[in-house]
Amino acid sequence: SQFRIALIVGSLRRESFNKKLADGLVRLAPRDFTFHHCEIGDLPLYNQDDDGHQAAPVKRLKHEIGESQGVLFVTPEYNRSIPGVLKNAIDHASRPYGQSAFAGKPAGVIGISVGAIGTAIAQQHLRNVLAYLDMPTLGQPEAFLQAKEGFFGADGHIGEGSQKFLQGWVDAYANWVRSHAG
């Protein structure tokens, strides 16, 4: 069977390293996996007053997650946490209460930053949120990546130095999703 993954990138930056990383991970994925890149840049700021009449981009995001067998978060670290745009998207798709799009969906968490600890603290914060949202989240292997010279090749693809490690990570996430398939 086919596995569809909702891909959520925590950076809106045009030249985002995390977008490039996400594209690279998609290239490494097994053939029975497809990925849908979820747009989060057009979501309004979350306001609980709107829970009863969610905006079209919110409904779209919830639909995309609902149609998926897993969610892959690829995010930078902002001020030792996850970016506000990502938290905004998560808050939207978790509501209204009892109608979260996330419940039970197997998650993967990965990210790249220019800092030496490679989004480690952002990932820990995100894991806390995903635990509350009842998402079984891949624990191992962990991947803390630093955007150093050569991480991405001239073609923008993941460089040779990290290919093998990230192949292992993608394979582990794919198996995680398979093992949680209904």
Interface contacts to ligand FNR, rule CB under 6 A = 11, 13, 16-18, 76-80, 113-115
CB of 93 to ligand FNR, least distance (A): 20
Cis peptide bond upstream of 96, omega within 30:
yes
The residue nearest ligand FNR at its CB is 115
CB of 80 to ligand FNR, least distance (A): 4
Taking the C-alpha atoms of residue 34 and residue 167, their distance in angstroms, rounded to an integer, is: 16
Closer residue to ligand FNR in complex, CB, 101/122: 122
Closer residue to ligand FNR in complex, CB, 20/62: 20
Q: Is there a contact between 99 and 140 (Cβ–Cβ < 8 Å)?
A: no
Closer residue to ligand FNR in complex, CB, 59/80: 80
Where does residue 111 rank: exposed (0-12), middle (13-18), buried (19+ CB within 10 A)?
buried
Report the first-to-last Cα separation within the chain, whole angstroms.
12
Closer residue to ligand FNR in complex, CB, 100/113: 113
